[in-house]
Amino acid sequence: MPGIRNGSDGERELQERYGTEDRAQRFYSDQVRDRLNTHMIDFIGRMDMAFIATADKHGECDASFRAGNPGFLHVIDDRTVAYPEYRGNGVMASLGNVLENPHVGILMIDFVRDLIGLHINGTARIVDDALMRRCVPDLPVESRGRVPERWVVVDVVEAYIHCRKHIPHLVPAQREARQWGTDNMRAKGGDYFRSKEEPSALVES
């Protein structure tokens, strides 16, 4: 089935400017799908991390990192995925963006085995954990001793490959035990970038 994506106005303008229309159209037709196929679903089930892109109503962007046990990004069906949100620093930057602007992008990369990536773009909504479990009974109860507070449910608009050309091959290494869900600043990385040494850029109105 051909992909539904024909690109944004900016994509099409630059494809015409730089003479890449034919290559782009082949990619749209061959690689872009409006739902997850079985190979994509299997891939998601192996992944233990993902990069999440969101933007607020003004288009101000944020990129965030999520991780958990393999398959923490849960496939509900071929058009719907969900990932858990745990207690964090209280800022809720990604969730705040989703509240204003539901469009999200998810990128998962296999750095270890197949050196390939999967993009999922879609529209998101925030669902409390209790309600989510009533609707989706096979959700994991906890991860590393943490219980989700809520979930981000994403309706898939498009899914497509991220090519392996420049994906580095990484080898997992043993690390020290982590204090998951802690408020201990040292365990969380402390002031690694020494931001507290500089005057705050925030100005009270």
The confidence score (pLDDT) of residue 1 equals 39
pLDDT > 70? residue 165: yes
Average pLDDT score over residue span 151-164: 97
- Kindly report the length of the chain: 205
- 126 pLDDT higher than 50: yes
The mean pLDDT of the chain is 89
The pLDDT tens digits of the residues spanning 66-97 come to: 999 999 999 999 999 999 999 888 999 999 99
Model confidence over 14-66: pLDDT tens digits?
Answer: 999 999 999 999 999 999 999 999 999 999 999 999 999 999 999 999 999 99
Identify the pLDDT of residue 61: 97
